[in-house]
Amino acid sequence: MGARAIALRVDSVARCAAAWHRDRHGHAAERERAASIASPIRRAQFLAGRWLAAQSLAARHGGPADAWHLSCVPDQPPRVLQGPGRPWLSISHRGDSVACAIADGPVGVDVELEDGLRGAADERADFVLAAAEQPAFAQTAAPARAAFLLARWTLKEAWAKRQARGLALGAMRDLVSRPLAQGGNARLWRAGGLVLAVCAEAGTLWPQPMLAGMPTATPEPWQVAPVSPRH
């Protein structure tokens, strides 16, 4: 079996949410789910993700975007219910950025703002980093610690989404991430004020993502896995 390829897109929440009202307002389940979201920002993010996912599915697997129906269950990852195929997908949003990854196997994507770390890096490290990651963090100069922590945060969120489950803050310590020269099961992009991570199986054909408003960035290879006894 050949290596699996991923389609990856990042776009503006405002643009994609407006496009949803133009193109997908007839999808009753999405409309009803959006109406149940009290926060206007979160409502727009939800709609933006659905529009971007439908566009990505149509571009990769064919058929009109409107023919793709996605699940709308609160607190559960989206999945394809109806369309010209049953690919895997993952959606993430932060601020005005929304990301969608489409693959032939389990995939997880997470997008974060480059300056979006909640709290001081030193205070968050014990909740995010595995014991094996702590020495490198301690050796990192103070101005670079937020970027160090946010990279691991984003990668671990993407890993959890690939497993189709949420990840509590303290549970991040049970995962260890390691930068590589090549290979691995994850990729990280940093550009345009965003940090973007995708996690899939090793040997995946990693894409150069379609990044609306985000400069071309070189993907960084990483390995993300549960902590083993040797760690």
CATH code, 132? 3.90.470.20
Yes or no: say if 205 and 3 are a contact pair by the CB < 8 Å rule: yes
| pLDDT classification of 201: cutoffs 50, 70, 90 | confident
Largest CA distance in the chain: 54
Q: In this structure, is residue 179 part of a structural domain?
A: yes
Q: In this structure, is residue 15 part of a structural domain?
A: yes
Question: Measuring CA to CA, which residue among 11, 53, 14 is closest to residue 192?
Answer: 11
**Angle, alpha carbons 40-46-47 (nearest 5°):** 90
List the helix and strand counts (H, then E) for the chain: 6, 11
| pLDDT classification of 231: cutoffs 50, 70, 90 | very low
Q: In this structure, is residue 116 part of a structural domain?
A: yes
3-state secondary structure at position 128: helix
Q: Is the pLDDT of residue 5 over 70?
A: yes
Yes or no: say if 129 and 178 are a contact pair by the CB < 8 Å rule: no
Q: In this structure, is residue 84 part of a structural domain?
A: yes
pLDDT of residue 59: 92
Bridge partner list, 12: 97
HSE-up of residue 41 (Cα within 13 Å, Cβ side): 5
Average pLDDT of the chain? 90
The domain tally of the chain equals 1
Q: In this structure, is residue 214 part of a structural domain?
A: yes
Q: Is the pLDDT of residue 107 over 50?
A: yes
* Residue appearing with tokens 């929440």: 13
- Between 127 and 216, where is the model more confident? 127
Q: Is the pLDDT of residue 80 over 90?
A: yes
Distances (CA, A) of 45 to 3, 14, 18, 26, 37: 32, 8, 11, 18, 10
Cα–Cα distance measured from residue 146 to residue 5, given in angstroms and rounded to the nearest whole number: 31
Cα 138 to its chain centre, rounded Å, is 27
> Which residue range forms the structural domain that includes residue 106?
6-226
Cα–Cα distance measured from residue 9 to residue 13, given in angstroms and rounded to the nearest whole number: 12
Cα–Cα distance measured from residue 197 to residue 185, given in angstroms and rounded to the nearest whole number: 11
Q: In this structure, is residue 115 part of a structural domain?
A: yes
pLDDT of residue 122: 87
Q: In this structure, is residue 231 part of a structural domain?
A: no
Q: Is the pLDDT of residue 118 over 70?
A: yes
- Between 108 and 165, where is the model more confident? 108
Q: In this structure, is residue 1 part of a structural domain?
A: no
